Amino acid sequence: MNQPHIIINCAMTADGKIAQPSGKQLRISCEEDMERMYKLRNKYDAVLVGIDTVLSDDPKLTVKDKYVENPRQPIRIVLDTHCKTPTNSLVVNQAAKTLIITDKECNKKYNDNVEIIQCETDKEGYIDLNKLLKILFNRGIKTLMVEGGSTVILNFLKQKLVDDMYVYIGPMIVGGKDTPTLADGNGIKNIGELINLEIVDTYRLGPGILIHYRMIK
């Protein structure tokens, strides 16, 4: 297959939430999970998030040398159809290369580590993931870690593009019917579209649990 091997990595609460009710970042992972996540990032060619995660969390998406000796920084990818990534956001800092995926030309001036890649959109107006994955594969990205948020995760799952998914479940409850969950966006339209997973393994990690799922395609 001419597309990268894809995993999703995400942390959620016992009630399936991945952020505060306001959408602001919530630290769910324990120290052991942080270490696992940074080691995974270090192994992958690229890490990917949606623009709304950049706007709400301002993540760096790099590997910290506190967790990995001599880190090898993955390429950072932002799905950002309308080129909203602020020029001062941490995801476009000098620490690693960043690809911003848009569907049109972008006049913003980023530093030399940042490349704007144009990609067609799908019928929902989102970046067409199948087309994007071909572009990334042809650029040598053979492994991709999708980190969120909810809309991006659902779209990767709905389109059956994911190989494995790692979900850390922290023993806490946030509540709130509009609080972001693991998979929001436009859910399935009918039961035939149900996204089926199998559990490969479960692990106790600090106070929580890590579940390794594989996608049934």
Ligand X SMILES: NC(=O)c1ccc[n+]([C@@H]2O[C@H](COP(=O)([O-])OP(=O)(O)OC[C@H]3O[C@@H](n4cnc5c(N)ncnc54)[C@H](OP(=O)(O)O)[C@@H]3O)[C@@H](O)[C@H]2O)c1
Residues near ligand X (CB under 6 A) are: 10-11, 18-19, 23, 25, 28, 49-53, 56-57, 79-82, 84, 126-127, 129, 147-152, 155, 180, 184
CB of 137 to ligand X, least distance (A): 16
Cβ proximity to ligand X: between 42 and 179 the closer is: 179
Give 192's DSSP letter.
G
CB of 204 to ligand X, least distance (A): 19
CB of 17 to ligand X, least distance (A): 8
Does residue 78 contact residue 101 with C-beta atoms inside 8 Å? yes
Provide the edge-to-edge strand list for the sheet that holds 98-102: 114-118, 98-102, 75-79, 46-50, 143-148, 5-13, 164-170, 208-215, 197-205
Cβ proximity to ligand X: between 131 and 142 the closer is: 131
Q: Which residues contact 41 (CB under 8 A, 6 or more apart)?
A: 47, 61, 62, 63, 74, 145
Report how far apart, in Å, the C-alpha atoms of 204 and of each of 11, 19, 131, 134, 168 are. Answer: 14, 22, 38, 36, 10
CB of 155 to ligand X, least distance (A): 4
Burial of 117 (C-beta count, 10 Å sphere; 0-12/13-18/19+) = middle
CB of 29 to ligand X, least distance (A): 8
Cβ proximity to ligand X: between 122 and 163 the closer is: 122
Cβ proximity to ligand X: between 112 and 125 the closer is: 125
| DSSP H or E run through 209 | strand 208-215
Cβ proximity to ligand X: between 71 and 170 the closer is: 170
